[in-house]
Chain A
Amino acid sequence: MRLLSHNMLSSNIKGVTNGFPLRIEAEKVVVKQVDLNVRFLKNMFPKIEWKALVEASRTMGYAELPEEVEPSKLDSRDFLQKFHHALLELVLEEGALVCPETGRRFPVSKGIPNMLLHEDEV
């Protein structure tokens, strides 16, 4: 799972009011090369929860994203490259996603998070 997907997913356990962002436990991270698409990145930028992306990429071992970012940064090729790398090239292969409110672990195996809820969580 890549961090663009992580940036949309939240914990939906019954009673949880703020299930976003899921904390990442990274056991194995792989990097897959993806072509840079400037138009897509510019379009996506305003929709991304930046803090969640910064935090998630750090947990995955990539610390190049700035804490705060102005939209004017999107004119910088260097910034776009980093944004692109964090968003689309880092893949969580093994580990877990953890609900920020309850601590419930959703295991990630072969790149696929298991977000199935137990009966009493629905």
Chain B
Amino acid sequence: MKLKQLESLLGGLQQFSNPKVELEQYPTGPHIASRMLYTAENSFGDVCDKVVADFGCGCGTLGVAAGLLGAEHVIGIDVDPESLELASLNAEELELDIDYVQCNIKNLGWRAEVVDTIVMNPPFGTRKKGADMDFLSVALKVASQAVYSLHKTSTRDHVKRAALQQFNASSAEVICELRYDLPQTYKFHKKREVDIAVDLWRFVPKSKQGPEV
């Protein structure tokens, strides 16, 4: 599938109608989501025929993108039931079979061997400090191949240090810097639209590195 085609399919997905501020629900726009998954597949082969989990899936954009690019099994996890319902509808609309689980990422009970790749747009931790690092910590335990995640560019050094020193990543690379066009989602947003610089990261978990046999 071409990048443009992927982006346009993702552009047709339903987004949150009543986003919840405490969960930092910001939609992952089709521009960023399509580039994220397209890179994961075309530069690293981390999507097609793989088991992919979408942590904090919200209305399901990243998981749907993985499904469109040929992931064999996709699981979306979110704490919010309304998001999961919307995500199910989005998957159905595109005729994708995606499993959804309602769970708090922090309390996830999971055998670690099965999931190859995790894609996520975690809460940036501006409302609840450290939320993004909680996601990353669990993701690096569950994924066997790679974790793709978005983090604010302003936290780059911190993310790298935490991933390598605390969460046992064997590598943590910024693949590209993107602009997150954040439309005015909540009342407390003063400007109509803001551009936030975010990094697209690829992390490799330790001791599971290397091609599959």
Contact = CB atoms under 8 A, between A and B. Distances in A.
B100 A112 contact: yes
Contact of B109 (A12, A43, A47): A12
A11 B109 CA distance: 6
B101 A112 contact: yes
Interface in B60-83: 72-73, 75, 79, 81
B8 interface: no
B111 interface: yes
B45 to A, nearest CB: 13
Contacts of B102: 112-116
A9 B88 contact: no
A63 interface: no
B103 interface: yes
Contacts of A19: 109
Given A39-B49, A111-B88, A112-B84, A2 B73 contact: yes
Taking residues whose C-beta sits less than 8 angstroms from the other chain, chain A's interface range is 20 to 34
Contact of A12 (B85, B100, B108): B108
B134 interface: no
Contact of B88 (A49, A112, A113): A112
20 contacts: A1-B101, A2-B97, A2-B99, A5-B75, A7-B114, A8-B114, A9-B101, A9-B109, A9-B111, A40-B72, A43-B212, A49-B111, A111-B88, A111-B100, A112-B100, A113-B101, A115-B109, A116-B79, A116-B102, A116-B103
What 10 pairs between A and B have smallest CB-CB spacing?
Answer: A12-B109, A115-B103, A10-B109, A5-B99, A8-B114, A114-B102, A40-B72, A47-B113, A112-B100, A8-B111
A20 interface: yes
Interface of A: 1-2, 4-5, 7-12, 19-20, 32, 34, 37, 39-40, 43-44, 47-49, 88, 110-117, 122
Contacts of B212: 43
Contact of A8 (B81, B104, B107, B115): B115
A9 B212 CA distance: 23
B192 to A, nearest CB: 35
Contact of B49 (A40, A88, A110): A40
Contacts of B103: 115-116
Contacts of A115: 101-103, 107-109
B111 A10 contact: yes
Contacts of B44: none
Given A32-B97, A40-B49, A47-B113, A88 B73 contact: yes
A8 to B, nearest CB: 5
A84 B195 CA distance: 45
A112 B81 CA distance: 9
Contact of A4 (B73, B107, B113): B73
A2 B95 CA distance: 16
A122 B49 contact: no
Given A1-B99, A5-B101, A111-B100, A122 B107 contact: yes
Contacts of B107: 12, 115-117, 122
